[in-house]
Structure 1
Amino acid sequence: MTKSWGVVIVAAGRGSRMKTSESKQFLLLQDKPIFIHTLEVFSRMPMIKDIVVVTGATDVERCEEWIKQTGLYDHRTRVVEGGKERQESVYAGLQMLSTDYVLIHDGVRPFVQSEHIEACMKAAALSGAAVLAVPVKDTIKQVSAEGIITATPDRSSLWSIQTPQAFRLLEVIEAHKQAAESGFAGTDDAMLVERLGGQVKVVEGSYTNIKITTPEDLDYAAFMQKREREQ
């Protein structure tokens, strides 16, 4: 039986590291907010049954308006209010879905490629959970509170985790539910599933799947778009 898929796109951050008054997901790339570029990628995938965009309470209306203006508003797409923290926002989005599986993706990762999304989906369908990631390029050091190096982990075993992250819907909802009840805050959704004993498969993605969080990231995103237009 074919499994149904939904997507939660998280576009509720305030983006303090961007040092702008505007939330990072609403900053413009080619005259469209960053989250719209992200939404376009998933909207082009026919295997996606439901798309939930989670945003801040004061941004729901303008988020809906942008989606309508760009022609992406259809029967699959909903915009819902998130929480104060990312984890709360994801949980709110998950509860709007009734699919078998779900992809959870950062709204400010607009350069994710459909082939990598599909690879993540296939891995999750086989193993129950999967995440996109890339091998780290730099040597990583563990450092003490005093600024002294205490260890150098083997780089060959280290991966930089990205999104989307893919899960069986009921399992990731349960992971979020238990985390909320115990007051546990994870650094990503996979961590919540791991906490309950779940195994998460790593699928190699692309270094271009950046999360736009700083002014330098925004400059790089503009460069990437310019390069794509010239190809």
Structure 2
Amino acid sequence: MHNECWGVILAAGQGRRMAEATGGEAKQFLPYQGAPLWWHSARAMAASPLIHGLVFVFPEERLERARQEALELNAKESCGVPLRFAAGGERRQDSVRHALAALPEACRTVLIHDGARPFLRTALVTRLADALREGSVSGVIPGVPVTDTVKETDARGFVTRTPERATLRAVQTPQAFELAALREAHERADREGWNVTDDASLMERVGSPVLVVEGDRDNVKITNPQDLALLAEHKPSLPCCGYGYDVHAYGGNRPLMLGGVEIGGEYLIRAHSDGDVLLHALMDAVLGCFAGGDIGQLFPDNDPAFDNISSVVLLDQVLAKAAEAHVRLVHADLTVIAQKPKLAPRADAIRRNVARLLDLPLDHVAFKATTEEKLGFTGALQGIKAVALVTALRAER
């Protein structure tokens, strides 16, 4: 494949503004829920079905130690995508340039993200990558409306202008770009000695169009000492659960998919989408956690837009709705019922892929396959079915 989209996690800053509050530790390395901040960003980005790999940028003097930590974390809870590493530079733009040099030849688009934004949601990653893929622009960035009135001042502090607030956006990361255009902009900046605060500013300066799409107010950056309270903040939440059930008949023309893993073989599925019966049951279970309806309502089978669509893409949309409802998944228990094919050889791959898609630790996803002892329609090899039980925490409003 030669049209890959990769993510870059920038974790090479020195964090001098917060050194006193953190005991000298750079903010992106602060622990949060059992892992450094940069790892939370990485897992959220890798969970998007549009991301093919990640490049981590660490301080040069800490590169080998941080690389080993990343590999150890990935061994415990795999991101499910290839990982590469690069040493940071003196400036942010130098670190980005080093990361771009580490990308594979197959990469055509890239998302640049600050490792000190640990609250990134996968839905935002997918929204940016989709907008870049479907648009006619070189860059797409997330932004949120500015709520305070902003004033421009002169060197003495006197107001010179009040911009129209409706046109202003506070910009976040990740920022998505066509790789060739971004590389060319960085090469020019290096030749001409430019200093910029983000990659979008660089693209604007060379005249490349940059589109702003809806950001996420929760996607905040740990910047000042008072932001450390966000890492200890816990909203009251209540447990909830959802149940899902789905059935598909054999005898169609879709290859058998389970949990986003192609099973293959002689048993073809009759379906409008890709017919992943396990992910369909899982999506209904997730929707059940916040009374969000069912996949038949969200993705009707008479809509040509969903013809042969990947269930992984549909699951990403369901997970985005769950996030909007302040639902955090904590466990999934999944069962497939089929007389054939035998699923034991692919059980581990299915379980690992579902854990990656849900951004859950592996020991919080259970997968089982069973038969109905040759009874019923599954026993007669007429089809396959799946059930899913999801448990979650929902923040009180």
Residues 83 and 225 from structure 1, CA distance in 2 versus in 1: closer, same or farther, beyond 3 angstroms?
Answer: farther
- Aligned mate of 2:43, from 34, 40, 44: 40
Residue identity (%): 39
Larger radius of gyration: 2
- Aligned mate of 1:136, from 138, 142, 146: 146
- Aligned mate of 2:165, from 155, 165, 168: 155
TM-superposed deviation, 1:69: 2.4
Q: C-alpha distance in 2, partners of 1:224/1:171? A: 41
TM-score relative to the length of structure 1: 0.93
Q: Which residue of 1 aligns with 2:292?
A: none
Alignment of 1:52-71 (within 5 A): 52-71=55-74
> Any unmatched runs of 5+ in structure 2?
238-327, 331-392
- The residue matched to 2:52 in structure 1 has which SS? strand
Q: Which residue of 2 aligns with 1:90?
A: 96
Aligned partner letter, 1:82: G
> Any unmatched runs of 5+ in structure 1?
none
Deviates more, 1:66-75 or 1:186-195: 66-75
Q: Which residue of 2 aligns with 1:124?
A: 132
Q: Which residue of 2 aligns with 1:76?
A: 82
Q: Which residue of 2 aligns with 1:101?
A: 109
- In the alignment, is the contact (CA less than 8 A) between 1:28 and 1:34 conserved in 2? yes
TM-superposed deviation, 1:177: 0.5
TM-score relative to the length of structure 2: 0.55
1:201 equivalent in alignment to 2:211: yes
Q: Which residue of 1 aligns with 2:9?
A: 9
Deviates more, 1:195-204 or 1:59-68: 59-68
Structure 1 residues 145-177: Cα deviation after superposition (integer angstroms, max 9, x where no partner): 222222111100100111111111011000000
What is the number of residues matched between the two proteins?
A: 231
Residues 212 and 153 from structure 1, CA distance in 2 versus in 1: closer, same or farther, beyond 3 angstroms?
Answer: same
1:183 equivalent in alignment to 2:189: no
- Aligned mate of 2:179, from 169, 177, 188: 169
Q: C-alpha distance in 2, partners of 1:75/1:146? A: 51
Q: Which residue of 1 aligns with 2:119?
A: 111
TM-superposed deviation, 1:74: 6.7
- In the alignment, is the contact (CA less than 8 A) between 2:49 and 2:126 conserved in 1? no
Deviates more, 1:217-226 or 1:188-197: 217-226
- In the alignment, is the contact (CA less than 8 A) between 1:12 and 1:55 conserved in 2? yes
TM-superposed deviation, 1:222: 2.6
- In the alignment, is the contact (CA less than 8 A) between 1:123 and 1:129 conserved in 2? no
TM-superposed deviation, 1:31: 2.6
- The residue matched to 1:163 in structure 2 has which SS? coil
Residues 122 and 56 from structure 1, CA distance in 2 versus in 1: closer, same or farther, beyond 3 angstroms?
Answer: same
